[in-house]
Structure 1
């Protein structure tokens, strides 16, 4: 491995404010803020908007949101259900 080509890889605390959860890992991320960790050491802390503790996919709270009526627009355009123009009755 060549020297001075790779970024500094060091321990960093990532804090998810939405879930009130923080975890210590190694990263190249930097921050001016620091936090005192459970082991008595002080580490840089990076605040994140979402992590595995608050992401709907990982928490099991995922839901489908049809904000713009895409399903209704698709059904109007290509026919929905068993009415005329639908592919359900053809064969």
Structure 2
């Protein structure tokens, strides 16, 4: 691999603002905030609105909006009152 073309990765703490879930991973993101972890490390901090801990798809709380049948059935029920004119 070529030298000098790859980004410099560093450990960064990410925190979910909706529930306080926090995780550390390597990233190149630039941030002005920092946080001190329980083990004494001081890392850059990125605040997120949602993560896998709070998103309905990952938590199993996502609801299906297609509970009346398929698209054809929705069309038929929507236009059933108009009837077919010949």
- Tell whether the structures are fold-level matches, with TM greater than 0.5: yes
What does residue 49 of structure 2 align with? Answer: 49
Deviation above 4 Å: which 4+ runs of structure 1?
none
Aligned mates of 2:20, 2:39 — CA distance in 1: 19
Which residues of structure 1 form unaligned runs of 5+?
86-91
Change (3 A) 1:58 1:13: same
Output aligned runs, 1:30-69, within 5 Å.
Answer: 30-65=30-65
The structure whose RCO (Cα within 8 Å, separation 6+) is larger is 2
The two structures, once aligned, show a CA RMSD in angstroms of 2.6
TM-score, normalising length: structure 1: 0.70
Output aligned runs, 1:8-47, within 5 Å.
Answer: 8-47=8-47
Aligned residues: 76
Which residues of structure 2 form unaligned runs of 5+?
none
User: Following TM superposition, by how much is the alpha carbon of 1:65 offset from its aligned partner in structure 2, in angstroms?
Assistant: 4.7
2:68 corresponds to 1:79: no
Aligned mates of 2:57, 2:18 — CA distance in 1: 15
